[in-house]
Chains A and B, each alone.
Chain A
């Protein structure tokens, strides 16, 4: 990780958390900037142009969701939000507002680093990387093919659309609403039933054991995530 010059902006009002993140991330050769309030965060993001932003949802001066919305007006820098357990609604709101991922406090360093890497990789990746390969599952977006262990898998158009959206956002949580809008059209955003049925059917086709999914992971109450290999 010596070549790592990724710049991270840490936004949290708790000094001890900022300090811990600073120590941990600096040790991994990240360049760390800090902000304690929403306003500082926006200013710092404009000034230092970080590659990724870690944003706590509970800030003293403004809501983390609001900060996300402000940032998204002018930058696509990946945002990972930090939240506490039990605030699923905030989480979804932040994701819908354009955040890329979330972490529930307390989290382990390993988990944080993995999310950071994924976020950075997504951001620096070529816009339409056509092929997703992981553990025998191969999805070729350009050719519209899905293969499991070399065998073709037949998906319905809705299932394919869902899978495609997950592949494009691989490693990132896609909310139920986003999935429904993309796969079924704008009128179906509340029709969670359809979503679950399609995901369930899709899993039966691509997962070796649908009761213990390996690829399409459920984030209960929030959405789904395609696990990166």
Chain B
């Protein structure tokens, strides 16, 4: 986060090296982050803990269940450290017993409510300091935290919720956490839980409930929590990239924000900002604040705004569009939240006629942004303020004016009917109703006209003398003025409300769209699935066929379409346009400045690491442009897609790395095992033979006999090992061709025992075979080998004097064969692994072997469609069972 970003690169590398060295001693911190009490952080923490409680020594240091039953249930079976009672002004307050936990020194401690303030007289003021101490002692900690307790968000949270958070933790705890888990619950559900009394409200919350638990607040806090968690993910991705030597630009100190307006001066401001940015070597952003008046912008102004934004992008800026009613406040808030250090804004040329009594935007920003530098740039003759030309623009809305005219007519008619019943001053209400109605449905222009027309009609038809504009009683002049003013104000207000509602609705729709896309992408795994998901979502949102272009595998290779869409025939021009967009990191194609005649819009998918690819959206026809909403979504959607693709890429990379590591490990094991096991027998053979040849060694009869015997035995061992190696490679290569036949297990056992021969000398081997055992369908030679290998192990790993048992039984549609011994058995963790290649259980007697016998047995059994498993027998010893499919001839046919 920002504190780190400012350090020079070398320092960070050093830090990381140091961190790597110190890490083993320091515990790991995992934060369960929520946005509000009641979202289920404690529950999530306990759930995570109970999943590992059997494998890890963990204690509940301080867990507050607030009497919730489900949460309490999770505490069962955990070691709970009793709380320390702290006396404070006659009250006993239970606090976490830090020293007991430190003395107990578990691997993992659960500590609820990181932001808690300890009772006076405790060692640390804050609980997060207790947590620090635990971490320093090498204890891993799981803790919970609400996002509003983060120091840097305190102001923002106060603004949102009007509640000032007392209990805060420094933001560095987030940096320190090795893992952050977002605990989320939709606000509606939270509110429901709140109503049902399922949420415990701590401290001052009872007082704050009403202000705090409003849906709007909750939504905002939820967004904050998500953003913090998302930033963390970015951070981790960045760290990953750093450690994998993926180069990317170093973060910059100064960050410049330029405010853009829909006027021709916009371009001027953008250029000025760009100059400043390049002087300061700063990152910069063009910001447009969308006020409810957005719907009043003329098409020209919209075009102007789009041009300005595009210019900014071309000049290397980021762009953002935010919403707000007050431009100045929104700009400052945005700059604060996102750490922009300088604001560039245009100087107002002439007073805006809608803001006769207020300050210009530039002035407001200068007043509000105490800690942020503000640069005011002069415009180029035209108004730097946003221009509104309602009268001119709304002329197109004929229907509204027509409706106004009709409504005034109707009002006049009604007024005429009622003129003898009511005072004229009451009849005016009918006109006001018309004005409000027009304002609500048709906007500002028609409603102002309606107000004016109302005055005229009222005067002409209803004020005596009627049918003239003359006024007998001068007090009616005041009535006219009132009608005009009230009508005008009402028009303005209701039109504004309507626009706000419209914009909000539209925004909400956009947010929902983006959110659901993000969700879908987050739930999707695997590159292909993610690409498919992006294409499908893009098609839905933009109502166009979508194709994703990704860079080829080799350098300098052109982009290739990653998703095949039969409806879009991709030609060279498309690829050229996509490549341009990719290389320049800016949109191209249809209705842009670059290649506007292309058949598609090409939008780069950019993350901090660079451009990952290009999203192409095909035109339906030349006449259908993107809607303003789609244009806005076009800014956010590609980033979402890019993040998803990057995630898939990183996952793939790390998986590949793992696979590579595993196969390297195996290779090493193989080399070690093979070179050792091959050479050892040769040492004896060569040694024995050369001794025999050197007659000078004066070997006596028995000694030379012994040497010959040894050489022979070792040569046989070598032969056995080579045979095993060949079998393993044959099985792995799938080169074993099974010569399947009906096989009599009894026959096989006989052959195996005969082959075992001398190796089993002096051992009692009991065979228990039921008389009517089914034949199996198998390659008898290979099954003999399985049995020999199993018997070999049984002989090697069980003490002499104890029998070895072979038994078998029918378990339709298989026959199960079992070899059991009375040896030491196999450690529980090794039961699965003993069938792995070169895996050998550590055995005190150092029994010779290559660790291949069981692996071969498994290969053979599985090639037959059977299963082989190992188990320990209750009285001590090992049982290896394997199954083979029964032969098709159902009975033995004993006749």
Footprint of B on A, CB under 8 Å? 85-86, 88-89, 106, 108, 192-194, 196-197, 199-201, 210-213, 217-218, 220-221
Asked whether, in the complex, the Cβ of B739 is within 8 Å of the Cβ of A200, the reply is: no
Q: CB within 8 A of A200: which of B715, B726, B746? A: B746
Nearest CB in chain B to that of A88: its residue: B781
In the complex the two chains form, is B780's CB within 8 Å of A221's CB?
yes
| In the complex, chain A residues whose CB is within 8 Å of the CB of B748 | 218, 220
**Main SS class of interface, A:** mixed
Taking CB atoms, residues of chain B closer than 8 Å to A193 are 742, 775, 887, 889, 893
By the criterion CB–CB under 8 Å, are A212 and B726 in contact? no
Determine whether the beta carbon of A221 is less than 8 Å from that of B719.
no
Given contacts A86-B726, A193-B775, A212 and B742 within 8 Å (CB-CB): no
- 9 interchain pairs, CB-CB under 8 A: A88-B739, A89-B739, A193-B775, A197-B893, A200-B744, A201-B894, A212-B750, A218-B748, A218-B751
Q: Are A106 and B754 in contact, CB atoms less than 8 angstroms apart? A: no
B649 at the A interface (CB under 8 A): no
**B742 to chain A: closest residue by CB:** A193
Asked whether B743 lies within 8 Å of A218 as measured between CB atoms, the reply is: no
- Give residues in B with beta carbon < 8 Å to A: 712, 715, 719, 723, 726-727, 730, 739, 741-744, 746-751, 753-754, 767, 769, 775, 779-781, 783-784, 887, 889, 892-894
Nearest Cβ distance between residue A219 and chain B, in whole angstroms?
8
- B892/A220 in contact, CB under 8 A: no
- Contact yes or no, A221 B781, CB < 8 A: yes
Which residues of chain B are within 8 angstroms of A89 by Cβ–Cβ distance? 739
Once the chains are docked, how many angstroms separate the CA of A125 from the CA of B754? 29
Q: Which residues of B contact A106 (CB under 8 A)?
A: 715, 719
Q: Are A192 and B894 in contact (CB under 8 A)?
A: no
- Minimum CB–CB distance for B888 against chain A, Å: 9
Across-interface contacts of A221 in B (CB, < 8 A): 739, 741, 779-781
List the B side residues contacting A199 at CB < 8 Å. 744, 747
CB contact between A196 and one of B726, B749, B775 (< 8 Å): that residue:
B775
Contacts of A85 in B (CB 8 A): 723, 726
Contacts of B767 in A (CB 8 A): 211
- Smallest CB gap from B749: residue in A: A211
Residues of A within 8 A of B744 (CB): 196-197, 199-200
Complex CA–CA separation, A106 to B893 (angstroms): 39
Complex interface: chain B residues within 8 A of A217 (CB): 754
Cα-based distance from A217 to B752 in the complex (angstroms) = 11
Q: Do A211 and B739 touch across chains, with their CB atoms under 8 A apart?
A: no
Q: Considering only CB atoms, which chain B residue lies closest to A176 in the complex? A: B741
B781 touches A197 (CB 8 A): no
B742 with A218: CB separation less than 8 A: no
B726 and A211 within 8 A (CB): no
- Measured CB to CB, the closest approach of chain A to B460, in angstroms, equals 114
Nearest B residue to A219, CB-CB: B751
> Which chain B positions have C-beta within 8 A of A192?
741-742
Q: Which residues does chain A contribute within 8 Å of B746, judged by CB atoms?
A: 200, 210-211
Complex Cα spacing A200 to B745, Å: 10
Q: A residues within 8 A CB of B784?
A: 220
Contacts of B741 in A (CB 8 A): 192, 221
Q: Which of A86, A108, A220 contacts B751 (CB 8 A)?
A: A220
Q: Which residues of A contact B751 (CB under 8 A)?
A: 218, 220
Q: Give, as a whole number of angstroms, the nearest-CB distance from A218 to chain B.
A: 5
A210 — which chain B residues lie within 8 A by C-beta?
Answer: 746, 750
Among A86, A89, A199, the one with the most B-chain Cβ atoms within 10 Å of its Cβ is: A86
A86 to chain B, nearest CB (A): 7
Residue of B nearest to A224 (CB): B747
Contact A196 B743 (CB under 8 A): yes
Closest to B766 in A: A211
Q: In whole Å, how far is A53's beta carbon from the nearest beta carbon of chain B? A: 25
Q: Which residues from chain A contact B749 at a C-beta distance below 8 Å? A: 211
For the complex, give the distance between the alpha carbons of A87 and B206 in Å.
Answer: 85
The answer to whether A220 touches B780 (Cβ under 8 A) is yes
Are the CB atoms of B739 and A86 closer together than 8 Å?
Answer: no
Taking A193-B887, A201-B894, A211-B769 as contacts, is the C-beta distance between A218 and B747 under 8 angstroms? Answer: yes
Q: Which residue of B lies closest to A201 (CB)?
A: B894
Q: How far is the CB of B98 from chain A (nearest CB, A)?
A: 68
